[in-house]
Chains A and B, each alone.
Chain A
Amino acid sequence: MEQQIDVGKVATNGSGNLLPLFDERSGMGRLQAIVAGQWFPPEVDPRLEREEMVLTIKDFCLWYGEAQALFNISMKIPHGKVTALIGPSGCGKSTLLRSVNRLNDLVDSVRVSGEMTLYGDSIYDKGVDVIELRKRMGMVAQKPNPFPMTIYENVIYPLRIDGINDRKVLDEVCEKSLRGAALWDEAKDRLQQSALGLSGGQQQRLCVARAIASEPEMLLMDEPCSALDPIATAKIEDLIDQLRGSYTILIVTHNMQQAARVSDYTAFMYLGQLVEYGPTPSLFKKPRLKETEDYISGRFG
């Protein structure tokens, strides 16, 4: 680990200056202390311990060049549930999500420390085959990113790159995935047309279909509705609801209502730190921390 941070001790702000300790009595809020560079252990609901875990993150830190973006994140993502990451812009939600399938490797200046395991298999160990790892996870990006090819080819892309060319298998997977993404009825007559001719909402569902085509162990969604209108958003949310149970979903969202509607668990992040993590209903109705309450009620952020 690059940087040891002891809870409750003096923290530094990078330039080595000593910063005042966080203290409930001093009236200084926890968020202000985080701004000042102090690290806190997250408030994690004990109910999470009862779930079967898919992804375990332990003391995960990430730097873009000199700037640290994630600070000692430790959390577990439960099996078959929808877990939402919320927090203000720039708090590291997307960075954390992209770290799970190592998409951050594409950025030259990124450095990480800490551990991540998927069903006990390390993600960041030296010998890990990144390509095999990514095949175990599906990802839906913020902006719909269909490939410049037909709808059919888009859906079966993960199989094509695996070298599967059996028409029967491909047809089957295509239909199953499109049905799974609630796009089959709209797309079944135009499978051989360009995917770029679909509407934005349809494109996003196509991306979901592509993400579930190779039956991944986990689905990563990076603000999947931010580029969509309310109707398309509702469709995607319905879809997430349908996928619940059969897939483990980690979703980043800006929209607090969306997190409340679709997720089973919610994690609140702030400036690269995990602040509170617990079952969605209790986090939204009765958060353990005042800061979380302030954020979800819109008092700051």
Chain B
Amino acid sequence: MSQTTFETDLKMPETAAAGRVAPQAGRVWRKSAGRGSTLAAHGQPMVWLAGGMLAICVVMIIGLVLLVTVRGMATFWPGPLVSFVLADSQVVSGEITRTSSYQPRPELIEALPPEHRAKAEALLAANEGFAHRDLVRTGNFELDGDHFSWVSDFTVTETRFPQWGLVMERLTWGRFYGEPRQFMIDGRVVADSPEAAWEEFKKYHGEVRQRWRERRQLESKALGKINHAQEKARLKVREAELALQRARLSHGRNSAPYLAAKEELGRQEAIYNENNQLFAAQYEEVRARINDLNRENDRYQLRLATYDGREKVLGLAEVVRAYPANQVSLINRVGIYLDRWLEFLRDDPREANSEGGVFPAIFGTVVMTLIMCICVVPFGVLAALYLREYAKAGPLISTIRIAVNNLAGVPSIVYGVFGLGFFCYLVGSSIDELLFASKLPSPTFGTGGILWASLTLALLTLPVVIVATEEALAAVPSSMREGSYASGASKWQTIQRIVLPRAMPGIMTGMILAMARGAGEVAPLMLVGAVKLAPELPIDGFAPFVHLERSFMHLGFHIYDLGFQSQNSEAAIPMVFTTTLLLILIITLLNLGAIYMRNRLRKKFVVSAI
């Protein structure tokens, strides 16, 4: 046996020599290589294929981001105010939102008055049968019942840019376009030329808005506080009622606990009634202040004339922002643009979300994403630790691993249904029965809320974290583990001090992926807590300050709502782009934060690799 190996060793030189005696074969092989062998051997086509694929990806991503950015940025730019006089002497005025070209049907031309028909036909002939049309945002919804109107170029007889055309953004009914006529205080006309009226408007608008904001503050803060305290007192009474009921059921009608509970109920009711009067007085006081502010604001009015000859009187408090669109300088335009962005970022939405700001949605998105991270990272890391470090490899572990990976492929709406059934209806209802019985039948945790939404998304993103963490744990060199064991460390000490720190950048990568996935998810949120309009933020000034049971607004859901549920869809489309841009920016910011942390960790742990 052993001798054969020695023999082969001895034979080695012979075979080598035999190789040398056949130079012919070698030369032939070399020749073909020199000429440039097969295409596959060069690999050039694969380089082109791989590069091409990357290029397609990059073009698609850049295209999408560019589309969202350009259209999102353009939304708030204040354009000019145009007034079209049409062939049938109708006047259409407003802001042009977009243009398109189309082939008008012949009836449209024939419907024109005869003196315009030739001109229109000539125009069409010059453009090979195509006509331009502009979509004009006409506003003034309460007057003509329309927000938008198409204007074809061949029907236009005159295009004007009225010098005193005002664009007014209002709290209700959308925008108003018109010319200022008179400014009135207490119904008395103090200015009756456009210029003077505009000057008066500018003079008073600031203070009127200030009073309006004060009123809003009173309504939300002062009245909110009173309502809150009242609700608290009512819950106390309800709790006492429930305690009485329990005492009756378990001890009987004449038992000592029952009587004690009855006494307690009487006491709470007395407190409630006493407080109620106090609250009513306080409420009246605030109401009176609000009424004062309203009355003061109602004194100031602006009479406007539209370009189709109608008049309208607007209270100054109604107007959020106004500017003479054809007079403002570039700097003022930039000012209005930035002001609109600021409003968008800071304020609550109005007009069915198509106007105003998205602050509650930004807040909800960020808070939800952070809670999700706080839940999913420890959970996923611990699960991955067990899978990779403690569990013995076998069919069971392989099955679990496959199952975890498959979880990533479950449609997200299924997670939503699960979240609704498990978190809201099962866990939430149990919590309500245990802790918030006095509020029933109106649910506290037993309905969609930001906590349940975060937990649902945490489940949704769990596979991402587990897979990334497992990869990171596997990448920790075994020499390091052995070094730790050889130093006398236990398994947990090794994991805690060597493996986890070393794997931390990889775990962070998993968190970043989970965050991007979670922040952009909408479908499950519709079932577990995201709403069109949330009256209160999940974090506010009332104890316990963090209200995780509350429903919340979410930018992704906001986009869906704007794009598909809006009454005024034409006005909502630009907001869809702006909100999308904002959502992308927020996710990018969150990711950059995580990447910054990861890079710091990398620098700390991996300087060089030997």
Contact = CB atoms under 8 A, between A and B. Distances in A.
Interface of A: 32, 35-36, 101, 103, 106, 108, 131-132, 134-135, 137-139, 141, 143-149, 157-158, 160-162, 194, 196-197, 200, 203, 207, 210-211, 214, 220, 227
Contact of B483 (A131, A141, A162): A141
A197 B605 CA distance: 10
B53 interface: no
**CB-based closest 9 A-B pairs:** A135-B488, A139-B486, A148-B605, A145-B479, A145-B483, A196-B607, A32-B2, A134-B488, A158-B487
27 contacts: A35-B1, A35-B2, A36-B1, A103-B486, A131-B489, A132-B488, A134-B485, A134-B487, A139-B487, A141-B479, A145-B477, A146-B483, A147-B480, A147-B483, A147-B484, A148-B480, A148-B604, A149-B501, A157-B489, A158-B487, A160-B497, A161-B490, A161-B497, A196-B605, A197-B607, A210-B483, A211-B486
Interface of B: 1-3, 392, 477, 479-490, 493, 497-498, 501-502, 604-610
Nearest to B496: A161
A210 B482 CA distance: 13
Nearest to B610: A200
A203 B498 CA distance: 16
A207 B488 contact: no
A164 B488 CA distance: 14
Contacts of B486: 101, 103, 134, 137-139, 141, 211, 220
A108 B394 CA distance: 12
A143 B479 contact: yes
Given A36-B1, A161-B489, A161-B490, 5 more contacts: A103-B486, A131-B490, A138-B486, A147-B483, A148-B502
Contacts, number: 95
Contacts of B484: 147, 157
A194 B2 contact: no
Given A144-B610, A194-B607, A197-B608, A158 B488 contact: yes
Contacts of A108: 392
A137 B486 CA distance: 8
Contacts of B606: 148, 196
Nearest to A150: B604
Q: Which of B392, B485, B609 has the most CB of A within 10 A?
A: B485
A145 B478 CA distance: 9
A36 B2 contact: yes
B607 A157 contact: no
A56 B474 CA distance: 36
Contacts of B482: 103, 106, 141, 145
A266 B574 CA distance: 83
A106 B480 CA distance: 13
Q: Which of B1, B483, B604 has the most CB of A within 10 A?
A: B483
Contacts of B488: 131-132, 134-135, 158, 161-162, 214
Given A36-B1, A197-B608, A148 B501 contact: yes
Contacts of A131: 488-490
A122 B606 CA distance: 39
A146 B489 CA distance: 15
Contacts of A197: 607-608
A144 B483 CA distance: 9
Contacts of B605: 148-149, 194, 196
Given A147-B484, A148-B605, A203 B610 contact: yes
Nearest to B476: A148
A144 B479 CA distance: 8
A197 B485 CA distance: 23
Contacts of A160: 497
A221 B590 CA distance: 47
A161 B487 contact: yes
A31 B2 CA distance: 10
A141 B480 CA distance: 10
Q: Which of A108, A132, A143 has the most CB of B within 10 A?
A: A143
B2 A148 contact: no
Contact of A103 (B1, B3, B485, B501): B485
A162 B489 CA distance: 8
A52 B502 CA distance: 42
Nearest to A199: B610
A208 B132 CA distance: 83
A131 to B, nearest CB: 5
A106 B501 contact: no
Nearest to B605: A148
B33 to A, nearest CB: 35
Contacts of B480: 145, 147-148
Contacts of B489: 131, 157-158, 161
A141 to B, nearest CB: 6
B314 to A, nearest CB: 68
B604 A194 contact: yes
A83 to B, nearest CB: 18
Contacts of A227: 610
Contacts of B609: 196
A180 B610 CA distance: 23
A146 B605 CA distance: 11
B498 to A, nearest CB: 5
Q: Which of A135, A158, A161, A214 has the most CB of B within 10 A?
A: A161
A160 B502 CA distance: 18
A108 B393 CA distance: 10
Nearest to B488: A135
A97 to B, nearest CB: 11
B2 A196 contact: no
Contacts of B487: 134-135, 138-139, 157-158, 161, 210-211, 214
Contact of A196 (B485, B497, B608): B608
Contacts of B477: 145
Given A131-B490, A203-B610, A106 B604 contact: no
Nearest to B480: A145
A84 to B, nearest CB: 19
Contacts of A196: 605-610
Nearest to B501: A148
A75 B455 CA distance: 61
A76 B81 CA distance: 100
A244 B606 CA distance: 34
Nearest to A203: B610
Nearest to B483: A145
